A and B are shown apart, each in its own frame.
Chain A
Amino acid sequence: MAETGRLTRAAAGPALSPVTLLRAAIILSALAVWELLSHSGWLYRDVVPSLLSILRALIALLTSPSYYFNLGVTAAEIATALAIGGLSGVAVGILLGANRFLSKAFESYIYYLGPTPKIIFFPVMIMWFGVGPESKVALGTLSCFFPVALSVAAGMRGIDKVLIRVGESFRAGPWQMVVKIYLPAMRHPIINGIRLGLGVALIGTLLAETKLSNKGIGFLIINAYSTFDMPRMYALLIVLFVLAIGANALVGRLGGLDSIKRI
């Protein structure tokens, strides 16, 4: 009986689970409703383009060299914003986390400024850095700084005191303490902060591109809107969402966040 059971389970393994079936059913229903809407004439023409035209636009987009150029521009802006905002966030987070006085004096500013809409600073960024990529990088940096600083400061305070005492007993200098004790012990909060920072830097940079630019993915999106090329806009949004969710998952996986229980 045991053998039979094992064989039965083994045979049932590759079959589709109810969850997969339900997911497939939801996706197929959504696609069917979409296609029906696109042919129904209930909505304005082209607001819901047919799936085939979106697929064609997606292929045209992915085979176009200009898409890769604009993707490169946006990726470079986001990477620069993440580097500047992330590093300054880590530095400020370590300072605030290590020093109670500084934390009490300044952390509330960062805490309360963190969840404010950063895009409204874009006119200021244009005045300071011009209309080129620099203003987009600046907005991405501003968006990215706050979550990283807060996450690192909280992570710093959560470091096991024993580790700090070990560092002190080895007479480690401030730099050695940062490199050998603090940073390794705060790997997860830092990666989590960078993951949050990446998300908001991406939004900040792309929104700034949609507002005023002549290159980048944000520019392509607003250009598709201006020319009312809806299939292209859908294709761009699909690609963007896949890239953004993928990048978020990749940073989380690289930092081993999967192993942390979700709070």
Chain B
Amino acid sequence: MTAAAPAKLSNLGNFTARVVGIGALVLFLLVAEILIQTGAISRFIVPPPSEIIGSFYRIITQEHVFSRFLLTAGECLTAGVMITVFGIAGGVLMHRFKLLQQACETWVAAMASAPVVLMYPLFMVIFGRNVWTIIMMGFVAALPPVILKTIEGIAGTRKVLVNVGRSFNLSPAQQFWKILFPAALPTIFVGVRLGLIFALINIVGVEFLINYGGLGQLIEDLAERYDLGGTYAAICFVILVSVLFFMALEKAERWLRPVD
């Protein structure tokens, strides 16, 4: 799924559309600013955009937003390493033993659609109110897509490549490392990308819910202090980080899968 609209617009049309998109956002912010400044919308519910922009400097300098960002990034990285290791291993195992795959693939798919994040109170009891609850929640919620995409990637290896391996009399281990795994890598990365997105969403969400950790906790903290400008600025910051993370993963995927 990509955001790209049908590429039938001319370059000028594309440029105009982008300008209209950005212009509409700027206009929306201006209208909001006027409505709030004139009192049509209460500034105790929605702070003016100028105040939100001003709060950015404050949350960066006073709320240690970068150290919080590093903490959340570290949690995501740990969960990411875990889903990559366990997800790929699980997928390979299930592909290797067909019976296991037939028995468990439906369960993994069901787990992917289950509201796993609602288990966070349970994880708090098991791991305590600490960073491991957050990491494990991200890990469990993000594991299914990596397993499913690993199975799909290995199963989708072109027959001709498998036959090349056979004609060279490769051992099963060589067949896996030289043929199956490299061929499946782009699809596996799709799974890892999805997993990382799920992990980030769940990690920030759980940080907010249990009021512990990095960026999610910052929002909860500011909201409890009724620091409206700061709350909105922190939300904008988290959204910005998520969008940049998402874009970076997309770029990495395109680099890994140059021809599609």
Assembly CA distance A243 to B252 (angstroms) = 37
Contact mask for chain A residues 224-263; partner B; CB cutoff 8 A; 1 contact, 0 none = 1100101001100100110011001000000000000000
Asked whether, in the complex, the Cβ of A19 is within 8 Å of the Cβ of B246, the reply is no
B165 → chain A closest CB, angstroms: 27
Assembly CA distance A111 to B5 (angstroms) = 11
Assembly CA distance A110 to B220 (angstroms) = 25
Range of interface residues on B (Cβ < 8 Å): 35 or more
Q: A26-B104, A103-B5, A120-B208 are in contact. Are A47 and B231 (CB under 8 A)?
A: no
Using a CB-CB cutoff of 8 Å, which residues 217-237 of chain B contact chain A?
A: 219-220, 223, 228, 231-232, 235
Range of interface residues on A (Cβ < 8 Å): 35 or more
Chain B residue at minimal CB-CB distance from A252: B113
Q: A104-B13, A207-B117, A222-B121 are in contact. Are A113 and B209 (CB under 8 A)?
A: no
Assembly CA distance A62 to B150 (angstroms) = 39
One of A4-12, A65-73, A121-129, A180-188 contacting the partner? A121-129
Name the contact of B246 in the complex, choosing from A22, A47, A115 (C-beta under 8 A): A115
Assembly CA distance A119 to B120 (angstroms) = 14
B216 interface residue per 8 A CB criterion: yes
Using a CB-CB cutoff of 8 Å, which residues 87-126 of chain B contact chain A?
A: 99-100, 102-104, 110, 113-115, 117-122, 124-126
B160 interface residue per 8 A CB criterion: no
Asked whether, in the complex, the Cβ of A245 is within 8 Å of the Cβ of B110, the reply is yes
Contact mask for chain A residues 27-68; partner B; CB cutoff 8 A; 1 contact, 0 none = 000000000000000010001000000000000000000000
A residues less than 8 Å from B124 (CB atoms)? 225
Asked whether, in the complex, the Cβ of B18 is within 8 Å of the Cβ of A104, the reply is yes
Assembly CA distance A258 to B161 (angstroms) = 31
A residues less than 8 Å from B208 (CB atoms)? 117, 119-120, 122
Asked whether, in the complex, the Cβ of A199 is within 8 Å of the Cβ of B3, the reply is no
Name the contact of A116 in the complex, choosing from B99, B114, B243 (C-beta under 8 A): B243
Asked whether, in the complex, the Cβ of A230 is within 8 Å of the Cβ of B125, the reply is yes
Chain B residue at minimal CB-CB distance from A97: B5
Contact mask for chain B residues 175-206; partner A; CB cutoff 8 A; 1 contact, 0 none = 00000000000000000000001001110110
Shortest beta-carbon contacts, A-B, top 7: A123-B223, A103-B5, A104-B17, A111-B3, A225-B121, A105-B21, A116-B242
7 contacts between A and B (CB under 8 A): A101-B16, A105-B24, A112-B246, A120-B208, A207-B118, A210-B120, A237-B119
